[in-house]
Chains A and B, each alone.
Chain A
Amino acid sequence: MKTLIRYIIYFILIALVVFSLFPFFVLIINATRLHSEIQKGFSALPGLAFGQNLVKLMSNDNVPILRALFNSVFVSSMCAILTTYFSSMTAYGVYMYNFKGKNAALKTIMMIMMIPTQCSTLGFLKLLSAFGLIDTLAALYIPAIAAPVVFFYMYQAMQSTLPYSIVEAARIDGCHEVSIFNRIVLHMMKPAIAVQAIFSFVGSWNNYFVPALVISSKEKKTIPIMIAQLRSADYQKFDMGQVYMTICIAIVPLMIVYLCLSRFIIKGVSLGAVKE
């Protein structure tokens, strides 16, 4: 009986794995095949045109994919750096010091966490045009300085891994408050910062709603906007090899990084949950 249950469970697990991986399998197979081969119908064997598709896509002027790739990497890196640095700074401020209005500050941040960003997008767009920031990449990463979710995570991480005594010892040794944070706290919080840097990089890399409304010029578009552009173009006229290649570029680099760091990332996901 028990072995039968085990077999059923393993069967379900294998089915789920196949179901989860199937779309990516087709994606990679089709990225290696020519347009004409794809049109003939699906085959499970990869083609030989991976390089050819890549070269064609790179030289396609309608889809400036390299530029978009650069923009996406730049914006996502800036987001990751700004979010983690300033959220750790805020978390340290709330954790370490007893100032007036500390509880109010903590409660405000918890409340903001619940508000969907879409609700304030209209005002955000108006503000950007007032500042002359509309259609700039800066508009995509400056707001990342205030990230309540990252703050909350860092605050919890500090409660469990940052003893007050270390900060006090540094003070006695004559270390300045700002350099205590930069040299000691940031160093000690490295694992938590790394987790949050990965998540904010991914979040910004995948972000579509706000960039699509902010960015309009061709040379500032990010990858998700490029994908949307592919979708709205006349689909039938497109070289399918290039379409699959574009999706590949949006998905595969991140997937490879994920596979290398998966143990670490999955641990990071569950860390936030237990302490809720």
Chain B
Amino acid sequence: MASKKEEKKEKKSKKVDYNKWGYFFIAPFFIIFIVFSLIPLISTFVNSLYENYRVGLMTVGPDFIGLENFKSIFESDILRYIGNTALIWVAGFIPQIVVSLLLSIWFTSTDLKIRFQQFLKTVIYMPNLIMASAFAMLFFTLFSDNGPVNSILVKSGFFSENVRFLAEVGWTRTLIATMNFLMWYGNTTIMLMAGIMSIDTSIYEAARIDGANPVQTFFRITMPLLMPIFIYVLITSLIGGIQMFDVPQILTNGEGTPNRTSMTLIMYLNKHLASKNYGMAGAVSVVTFIITSVLSFSIYTTTMNKYRSMTGAKK
């Protein structure tokens, strides 16, 4: 008896010994995280309270000025840029989620038995891995005034003369939204498919026996059970939307042409960072941070509450 206790004790002490290795394994990650992410994040917040910019070769500041930077970015056009970002994101996200839901239901349907699935998945996912800046450059050349798209449309008689796609507000925004759609609908489809396939098939059988039609099955069974993945897709897409930068930056050469109607929030931040206007850049970063946190938190809580009330689960 006594020896057993001792053995246990020894085992326990040995375990504690091993557990100290945990710190060794997580140390590099946390050191790099603290140095390259946490300290910069705090320093960004601090910088937003200082006047610090460059005029020619002269550097002004840093001088503490409180919330003046925030005042000046809100007096300039930041709200307009937030609006642009939101509009372009919505214009890309709605077709993305609709097409992805349809595709994922078709691909997983046992009635339809869609063929060439692997090929289709490969093709629709491909644009997701493409370099966004190269993709935007490609669209820029395709839709330029004398580009191939104009050439094709005029030759085939759709348009009587070349359209200046990148000089028109609607077209420029549509192009950016289209690129976002093309780059992300494949990814979303695969995510939603994984979600649908993890739903227990016996629920569908039960629904069929009870005489539910496909529309009812979709809204009453698939959608509620898909909610967690749906929220995940929504939040990641939203965070990605707030970060929208590469595509509009390259397409409009950083100007947000025509007349800054396609200037996004991060393009505005980039402009301040590139011109070493650190005070203002800090303020824009803080605003971006707050928007991201508020949006993802509120989406998460509201949709999860809805989900809980729909399924009656206490999770």
Contact = CB atoms under 8 A, between A and B. Distances in A.
A116 B140 contact: no
A74 interface: no
Contact of B190 (A27, A87, A122, A270): A270
Given A114-B292, A123-B47, A270 B32 contact: no
Contact of B40 (A19, A112, A123, A142): A123
A126 interface: yes
The B interface is mostly helix, strand or loop, or mixed, namely helix
Given A17-B123, A276-B228, A270 B141 contact: no
A153 interface: no
A5 B127 CA distance: 28
B89 interface: no
A206 B288 contact: no
Contact of A228 (B122, B127, B133, B229): B133
The A interface is mostly helix, strand or loop, or mixed, namely helix
Nearest to A89: B25
A55 interface: no
Interface in A59-114: 86-87, 89-90, 92-94, 96-99, 102, 105, 109, 112, 114
B253 A9 contact: no
Given A39-B146, A266-B125, A115 B41 contact: yes
A155 B46 CA distance: 34
A98 B118 CA distance: 42
B36 A224 contact: no
Contact of A120 (B41, B103, B112, B139): B41
Contacts of B186: 20
Contacts of A255: 126, 129-130
B190 A227 contact: no
Given A247-B138, A251-B134, A97 B29 contact: no
Interface of B: 15, 18-26, 28-30, 32-33, 35-37, 39-44, 47, 99, 102-103, 106, 111-112, 114, 118, 120-127, 129-135, 137-142, 144, 146, 148, 151-152, 155, 182, 186-187, 190-191, 193-195, 198, 228-229, 232, 239, 242-243, 245-246, 249-250, 253-254, 266, 269-270, 273-274, 278, 281-282, 285-286, 288-289, 292-293, 296
Nearest 3 A/B pairs, CB to CB: A93-B25, A123-B40, A97-B22
Interface of A: 2, 5-6, 9-10, 12-13, 16-17, 19-21, 23, 26-27, 30, 39, 41-42, 86-87, 89-90, 92-94, 96-99, 102, 105, 109, 112, 114-127, 142-143, 145-146, 151, 171, 177-178, 181, 202, 205-206, 208-209, 212-213, 223-224, 227-228, 230-232, 235, 240, 243-244, 247, 250-251, 254-255, 258-259, 262-263, 265-266, 269-271, 273-274, 276
